[in-house]
Structure 1
Amino acid sequence: MKQIKTTDAVGHVLCHDITQIIKDVTKDVVFKKGHVVREEDIPVLLSVGKENLFVWEKQEGMLHENEAAEILYEVCKNDYMKPSPVKEGKIEVIADIDGLFKLDSERLLKINSLGEIIIATRHGNTIVKKGDKLAGTRVIPLIIEEEKIKKVQEIGESKPIMSILPFKHKKVGIVTTGSEIFHGRIKDTFGPVIVDKFGEFDSEILGQTIVNDNKNEITAAILEFVENGADIVVCTGGMSVDPDDHTPGAIKDTGAEIVTYGAPVLPGAMMLVSYYNRNGREIPVLGLPGCVMYAKRTIFDLLLPRIMADDKIIKSDIYRLGEGGLCLNCQVCTYPNCGFGKGR
């Protein structure tokens, strides 16, 4: 820290707040500690009686908090994102579209483990809207070692640690199984739930085919939707392990690659995720457990945003859902503002 004349202070960093007092008008801080003095600031500083200022001495190998914050933002930023103005070593990352927020948790941990710098984010694999805050970056000290910031850059040099995948328009086919529904003995109440779920996204329901508990018929109904241009096929009914539950086998008989049948999520343990390859295009074929019909939120709510953003689901993604995969069935459901599905 050193004292210099205010007229020579351009480019220097203030070591203390500067307060402006105008009788009956204002008494407030006009320049905060850490502010980098600009040419246009000089008249204001002189007007509040500051002929001299205490500033940080620029040291080789050290960065001002705002310079460092800009670098933290660069490590985070990706397409469809924008920054807030830098202020006191802080920059917020803002979503510029609706979409699925993705986060590299491992590299985030490495950066935060360096100390004296932070990147605080929302959970990955969650829906964001345009204007939502995705993350906040902050440099703790006023001046930080440049070498530490270089380590941040090294961690983020391959690609940004965050991204937003835009949601796509999807054509959806629904295959409903069950002799009781096929023969009209009861009314189907599952299909409307699925329609409502997809109604939260840019989707088009191609139709609903109701078939008997016959594996060949279920397989044929799935393939018919695929041939008719479906981007997603959802199967309801017959997803248990009872002898007359044929939906999992019927999905397998289409030739779809089964990612998982079963998931460490409650409600939703009997979920089936698979992909059918049609001319190089991977079409999700999902077998939904019965809980999707009556529970407020299930595994389907956790996976659907990823399906709508063409974010392919792999086996380990399902396994990771175990931590946080227990819905507490709160009397007042606040999902997605709760811990369901957000363990990792």
Structure 2
Amino acid sequence: MTDMIEKVRTEDAVGKPLIHDITSIRKDGFKGVLFKRNHIIQSDDIDKLKDIGKEHIYVGELEDNQVHEEDAILEIAPKIVDDNIEWGLPSEGKITFKSKVRGLFKVNEEAAFKLNSIEDYTFASISNNTVVDVGDKLIGGRIVPLYTTRDVVEEAKKISEENNPIYRVLKFYKKRVGIIITGSEIYSGRIKDMFEPMIREKLKFYGGEIVDVIFVPDDIDKLLESMRELLSKDIELLILSGGMSVDPDDITPTAIRNISSDIIFKGVPIQPGNMLTVGVLKKTYIVGVPGASIHSSKTSLDLLLPKIFSNSPVNKDEFIKMSVGGLL
């Protein structure tokens, strides 16, 4: 196959269209597009091009079986993401995907590997299971040469269609939440509770509606009574703080076992927050939060809440896999 694209001296390119974006990097820190694809080169452009080191320019046109870098990316873009992700027009051969909602970013890692294994295509994303907000950048895509072949594009389309969507954002949904704070020292007023303001701030971000907050002493009967009271109020998440260590007065894990129809896990290979305990009763998650959540900016709780509020299944195996990277 003979290319119909040729390299010519910049002076000889006047009157001809650029076949790709020309990027400029200036001393003042600017980096961006100096001339867009299909710009007709003018005589006034010659010095500007030479100022950025462009002594030669590619001109010409692609053959029928060749696909320009921008077109190759645009053909794939709608096939790899869900409706909660948007993208703009390519710039400098690259396309950026952004989140349209607040939620949990998910990647089909096996499919992403297959897509990136195709000749010429590259898609770089943020980490799987990352909490994102509206407008956050999620993925950058481009092909590495100026153009590719139609066969390569069709291969990428096939993988994308078979695995659609490869990249998703699971939107956070509002949920009714009940909170119980245990500890005789807090219940009696001997010390000030620090859990409630922390958990209120976290739940606000995710869209949690706090139905009630109840304080109870280290008495399992009173704790079980309070749990049943909140569960009767049609809550979707019950959070318990205090009494989560191995001390004899720590009764919260026992109460969670007594109330839950199933215990998903008791303890996780994540620090801080090893003692995180999760049970379920019908459609309500019951969560025992370790004390580390009060003092540490990020704990196992911060890996759990996004899954609950995005309606993702919570299972033990996934949290065990988090042990790699689980030292937060």
Q: Which bin holds the TM-score, normalised by the shorter protein?
A: 0.7 to 0.9
Give the CA deviation at 1:240.
Answer: 1.9
Q: Output the TM-score relative to the length of structure 1.
A: 0.76
Instruction: Specify the code of the residue in structure 2 equivalent to 1:142.
Output: L
CA contact (8 A) 2:20 2:92 kept: no
1:247-286 residue pairs with structure 2 within 5 A?
247-277=252-282, 282-286=283-287
Say whether residues 1:153 and 2:157 are aligned partners: yes
Say whether residues 1:100 and 2:104 are aligned partners: yes
CA contact (8 A) 2:95 2:141 kept: yes
Range 213-222 or range 138-147, more displaced: 213-222
CA distance in 2, matches of 1:239, 1:151: 53
Say whether residues 1:195 and 2:200 are aligned partners: yes
CA change 1:221–1:3 in 2 (3 A) is closer
CA change 1:46–1:13 in 2 (3 A) is closer
Q: 1:319 aligns to what SS in structure 2?
A: helix
CA contact (8 A) 1:103 1:163 kept: yes
Q: Which runs of 5+ in 1 are unaligned?
A: 19-27, 328-344
Q: Tell me the alpha carbon deviations over residues 320-341 of structure 1, each in whole angstroms, 9 at most, x when there is no partner.
A: 22122113xxxxxxxxxxxxxx
Give the CA deviation at 1:225.
Answer: 1.0
CA contact (8 A) 1:75 1:160 kept: yes
1:292-331 residue pairs with structure 2 within 5 A?
292-327=293-328
CA change 1:49–1:98 in 2 (3 A) is closer
CA contact (8 A) 2:108 2:166 kept: yes
Give the CA deviation at 1:15.
Answer: 7.8
CA contact (8 A) 2:260 2:286 kept: no
Q: Tell me the alpha carbon deviations over residues 49-106 of structure 1, each in whole angstroms, 9 at most, x when there is no partner.
A: 99xx84244143x322122101331233211222111234321112222222222222
Number of corresponding residues: 302
Q: 1:210 aligns to what SS in structure 2?
A: strand
CA contact (8 A) 1:15 1:54 kept: no
Give the CA deviation at 1:47.
Answer: 7.4
Give 1:178's match in structure 2, choosing from 180, 183, 187: 183
CA distance in 1, matches of 2:4, 2:233: 75
Give the match for residue 236 of structure 2: 231
Instruction: Specify the code of the residue in structure 2 equivalent to 1:2.
Output: M
Give the match for residue 206 of structure 1: 211
Q: Tell me the alpha carbon deviations over residues 7-52 of structure 1, each in whole angstroms, 9 at most, x when there is no partner.
A: xx9xx9838979xxxxxxxxx9545xxx4x5xxx6xx4587799xx
CA distance in 1, matches of 2:209, 2:22: 58
CA distance in 1, matches of 2:291, 2:267: 13
Q: Which runs of 5+ in 2 are unaligned?
A: 7-12, 24-32, 47-57
CA distance in 1, matches of 2:45, 2:243: 80
Give the CA deviation at 1:316.
Answer: 2.0
CA contact (8 A) 2:171 2:310 kept: yes
Say whether residues 1:117 and 2:149 are aligned partners: no
Q: Output the TM-score relative to the length of structure 2.
A: 0.80
